[in-house]
């Protein structure tokens, strides 16, 4: 492959990513922002899950939604990534099955008024779908970030953002952009209720 061919391949990928970003449904993204703001305002926790690259996005998004920007702006959200505990994931995977690794955590941790963000490029990951079923049974709001037409996930959740691509790379790239866009939008909304009491200060 020549240098020009390598450059053309890179340009083609960048063009495909830009195209899927331009096709994102802005109203669907805004619905997710409003659902998360409502979860924050009622003192709920946002849980996240995903596999592979989507597990990394779940961890990344949990951090961004919890901490906020380096300037000191914060979203005020309590978050927890269900993909982060290797001991817990392997315990459930070994003792039950891998399709249960998120759902069993949901049944233990999620309460009415919480929210679950389920991330799956295909929209058909069995353990993600089971997590959504469990979250709905717990009375949580469910949000799906997916691609490939949405799969079963888009039809199961309360709010879905479907990336219009059948290619894993651009779908996962778009999910990371959605993470930052959603966190940025939440930081612009006033926090009407902090999820935890302030620590310290005058008695």
122 inside domain? yes
Query: What is the mean predicted confidence (pLDDT) over 152-172?
Result: 98
Question: Whole-number mean pLDDT of the chain?
Answer: 92
pLDDT at 39: 96
Average pLDDT over residues 30-38: 97
Residue 55 lies in a domain: yes
Confirm whether 67 is domain-assigned. Answer: yes
Domain count, the chain: 1
Q: Report the C-alpha gap between 118 and 81 in whole angstroms.
A: 10
**What is the predicted pLDDT for the residue at 3?**
86
Separation in Å, CA 197 to CA 49, 155, 190, 200: 27, 37, 17, 10
**What percentage of the chain has pLDDT greater than the value 70?**
92
Flag whether 178 is in a domain: yes
Residue 152 lies in a domain: yes
Give a yes or no: residue 176 inside a domain.
yes
Range of the domain at 141: 25-187
In tens, the pLDDT along 7-21 reads 999 999 999 999 999
Report the CATH number at residue 84: 3.40.50.10490
Please identify which residue in the block is written with the tokens 């340009």: 11
pLDDT in tens, 111-150: 999 999 999 999 999 999 999 999 999 999 999 999 999 9
Q: What is the band of 75 on the pLDDT scale with cuts at 50, 70, 90?
A: confident
Of 56, 78, 54, which is closest to residue 65 (Cα–Cα)?
A: 78
Name residues whose C-beta falls within 8 Å of residue 132's C-beta, 6 or more positions apart in sequence: 116, 118, 142, 144, 153, 156, 157
Start-to-end Cα distance in the chain: 70
Q: How far apart are alpha carbons 138 and 146 in whole angstroms?
A: 22
Residue 192, in any domain of the structure: no
| 9 within domain boundaries | no
């Amino acid at each position: 492959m020549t240098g020009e061919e390598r450059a053309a391949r890179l340009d083609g990928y960048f063009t495909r990513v830009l195209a899927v970003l331009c096709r994102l449904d802005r109203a669907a993204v805004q619905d997710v922002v409003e659902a998360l703001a409502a979860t924050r305002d009622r003192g709920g926790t946002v849980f996240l899950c995903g596999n592979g690259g989507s597990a990394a996005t779940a961890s990344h998004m949990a951090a961004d939604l919890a901490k906020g920007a380096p300037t000191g702006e914060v979203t005020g959200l309590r978050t927890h990534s269900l993909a982060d505990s290797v001991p817990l994931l392997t315990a459930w995977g070994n003792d039950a099955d891998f399709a249960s690794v998120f759902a069993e955590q949901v049944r233990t941790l999620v309460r009415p008024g919480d929210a679950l963000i389920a991330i799956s490029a295909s929209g058909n990951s069995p353990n993600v779908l089971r997590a959504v079923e469990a979250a709905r049974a717990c009375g949580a709001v469910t949000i799906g970030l997916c691609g490939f037409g949405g799969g079963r996930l888009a039809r199961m959740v309360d709010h879905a953002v479907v990336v219009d691509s059948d290619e894993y790379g651009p779908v996962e790239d778009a999910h990371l952009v959605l993470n930052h866009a959603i966190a940025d939008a939440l930081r612009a909304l006033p926090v009407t209720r902090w999820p935890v009491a302030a620590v310290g200060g005058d008695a």
